[in-house]
Amino acid sequence: MTHGERARGGGGAPRPVPGGSFHEMWRELAPVGRHPGSGGYRRFAWTGADSECRAWFEEQARARGLVHEVDRNGNQWAWLGDPTAGDAVVTGSHLDSVPDGGAFDGPLGVVSSFAALDELRARGVEFGRPFAIVNFGDEEGARFGLACVGSRLTAGQLTVEQAHRLTDGDGITLPRAMEAAGYDPDAIGPDPERLGRIGAFVELHVEQGRTLDLSGDPVGIASAIWPHGRWRFDFRGEANHAGTTRLVDRRDPMLSYAETVLAARREAELAGAVATFGKIAVEPNGVNAIPSLVRGWLDSRAADQASLDAVVGGVEKAAREYAEAHGIDLDVVRESFTPVVEFDHALRDELARILGKDRDPGLTVPVLGTGAGHDAGILSGSIPTAMLFVRNPTGVSHSPAEYAAEDDCLAGVTALADVLEGLVRR
Ligand SMILES: [Zn+2]
């Protein structure tokens, strides 16, 4: 262990009963951080609700006789076997939430991990490799505005200096928030040694779309996380009186912006991608004033780089034509971009075999891409990583309406257990 790490679970007698069934674990976790008004979850990093979730994780680990450990970045690990032996098989997800998030995004992966371990033990599987369940800290970025802080720090994709500058809405910095929750903020930083001891990471997650619902499958395998980015479109015209300025005399940037929104929809449909103008700023923002500036943010994601380029290129070309037609100046700035994350092909193919023809020679499991980011995506730059998705009948996520049927959740547990059995036996 490095400075700042804490190991527990070595001393004291384990609880007489092992942690509960999937159903019992789900029921135990359900009220934690749930807002009575909205019915959604508010489990923000390093708050009381987060601490309760983390205490629950530790309890589940200890109930199963696993060694509980918190790493230097506040991620929780529950180990079976020697963590230092190398080539470990790790599964897990996160327990924090977006504001008024659903019950499944994150917790489904953690609860399924404990349930899958119980299943492996019930099957009498012998573990030929160390095994761990992980709860990554601050995945959603709800409090400090950056997603996947725990895994990013571990993988060295977020520097200590950047992490120290993260501040929440009340002006509390990440180090102070960690300290208040009982962790040592001076310990945070990259953890290549820890990652070097992991041979495979598998994250089970509720699907945040309807691909599995449409294909009629309870479980699927991730192929990749789509490349995605944000672009700012500044349309500049001329502010003037909404009552006295003749239509022909106007330079109204709202018109070019509105046409650009429609172009984004058209281009996304053509490319089989998604494109969204979900945020806008208007100056002077008066109900009786023609705007001088309309600033719109485009979020676009596509299955591959060429499709994303086609969408954004098409939107920008259309925007320039509309701007010119209305006498508007246009600037387009790329504010952020994340290239495609391809999950490890060998591991993905192994999962497809285990869940497909190993079960039934004619069976294939859907392999799907996703437009959402995950800890698994961050770690895939350092270690072989794969994801399983569980069907979400409405596709709704980051909302109290997020849902997965219990039968599908249990199919997810079985799938995860099958995959882990294949991996740990080696
Ligand atoms: Zn998630």
Per-residue tens of pLDDT for the chain, all 426 residues: 333 333 333 444 444 347 899 999 999 999 999 999 999 999 999 999 999 999 999 999 999 999 999 999 999 999 999 999 999 999 999 999 999 999 999 999 999 999 999 999 999 999 999 999 999 999 999 999 889 999 999 999 999 999 999 999 999 999 999 999 999 999 999 999 999 999 999 999 999 999 999 999 999 999 999 999 999 999 999 999 999 999 999 999 999 999 999 999 999 999 999 999 999 999 999 999 999 999 999 999 999 999 999 999 999 999 999 999 999 999 999 988 888 999 999 999 999 999 999 999 999 999 999 989 999 999 999 999 999 999 999 999 999 999 999 999 999 999 999 999 999 997
Q: Based on the fold, state whether residues 26 and 168 are members of the same structural domain.
A: yes
- Are the C-beta atoms of 91 and 201 separated by less than 8 Å? yes
- Are the C-beta atoms of 383 and 199 separated by less than 8 Å? yes
CA neighbor of 158 nearest in space, from 233, 263, 73: 73
Q: Report yes or no on 393 lying in a domain.
A: yes
Q: Report yes or no on 372 lying in a domain.
A: yes
* pLDDT value of position 337: 86
Q: Based on the fold, state whether residues 280 and 183 are members of the same structural domain.
A: no
Ligand 1 centre and the CA of 392: distance in Å?
A: 13
The phi, psi pair for 297, rounded to 5°, reads -105, 125
- The one-letter amino acid at 258: A
CA–CA gap between residue 226 and residue 304 (Å, rounded): 6
Ligand 1 centre and the CA of 374: distance in Å?
A: 6
- Are the C-beta atoms of 228 and 277 separated by less than 8 Å? no
What total number of domains does the chain contain? 2
Ligand 1 centre and the CA of 104: distance in Å?
A: 8
Q: Based on the fold, state whether residues 43 and 178 are members of the same structural domain.
A: yes
Q: Report yes or no on 194 lying in a domain.
A: yes
* pLDDT value of position 335: 87
- Are the C-beta atoms of 77 and 69 separated by less than 8 Å? yes
Q: Report yes or no on 327 lying in a domain.
A: yes
Q: What is the pLDDT of residues 362-397, one digit of tens each?
A: 999 999 999 899 999 999 999 999 999 999 999 999
Q: Based on the fold, state whether residues 217 and 271 are members of the same structural domain.
A: no
CA–CA gap between residue 141 and residue 219 (Å, rounded): 27
Ligand 1 centre and the CA of 254: distance in Å?
A: 36
Ligand 1 centre and the CA of 258: distance in Å?
A: 33
Q: Based on the fold, state whether residues 171 and 50 are members of the same structural domain.
A: yes
Q: Report yes or no on 326 lying in a domain.
A: yes
Question: Distances in Å between the alpha carbon of 363 and those of 62, 82, 262, 366?
Answer: 38, 36, 41, 10
Ligand 1 centre and the CA of 178: distance in Å?
A: 21
CA–CA gap between residue 107 and residue 133 (Å, rounded): 12
CA–CA gap between residue 263 and residue 303 (Å, rounded): 19
Q: Based on the fold, state whether residues 16 and 58 are members of the same structural domain.
A: yes
DSSP conformation letters of 320-357 = HHHHHHTT-EEEEEEEEEE--EEPPHHHHHHHHHHHTT
pTM of the entire predicted model: 0.85
The CATH number that applies at residue 11 is: 3.40.630.10
**What residues contact residue 10 under an 8 Å CB cut-off, 6+ apart?**
67
Host domain of residue 119:
6-226+340-424
Q: Based on the fold, state whether residues 293 and 401 are members of the same structural domain.
A: no
Domain boundary among 338, 369, 392: 338
Q: Name the DSSP class of 426.
A: -
DSSP conformation letters of 112-169 = HHHHHHHHHHHHT---SS-EEEEEESS-S-TTTS-S-HHHHHHHTSS-HHHHHH-B-T
Domain boundary among 287, 316, 338: 338
Q: Based on the fold, state whether residues 369 and 392 are members of the same structural domain.
A: yes
Kindly state the greatest CA–CA separation across the chain. 82
Q: Based on the fold, state whether residues 281 and 416 are members of the same structural domain.
A: no
Q: Report yes or no on 1 lying in a domain.
A: no
Q: Based on the fold, state whether residues 252 and 394 are members of the same structural domain.
A: no
Residues in the chain: 426
Question: Distances in Å between the alpha carbon of 219 and those of 120, 279, 293, 409?
Answer: 19, 34, 47, 9
Q: Based on the fold, state whether residues 160 and 32 are members of the same structural domain.
A: yes
Q: Report yes or no on 369 lying in a domain.
A: yes
Place of tokens 């299955």: 303
Domain boundary among 338, 368, 389: 338
* pLDDT value of position 374: 94
Q: Based on the fold, state whether residues 69 and 57 are members of the same structural domain.
A: yes
CB-proximal residues (5 Å) to ion ligand 1: 105-106
Place of tokens 């979850």: 41
Ligand 1 centre and the CA of 100: distance in Å?
A: 14
Q: Report yes or no on 356 lying in a domain.
A: yes
Ligand 1 centre and the CA of 242: distance in Å?
A: 46
Question: Distances in Å between the alpha carbon of 316 and those of 60, 279, 297, 330, 332?
Answer: 51, 17, 12, 9, 8
Spell 374-411 as b/e; 16+ CB within 10 A means b: bbbbbbbebbbbbbbbbbbeebebbbbebbbeeebbbb
The CATH number that applies at residue 328 is: 3.30.70.360
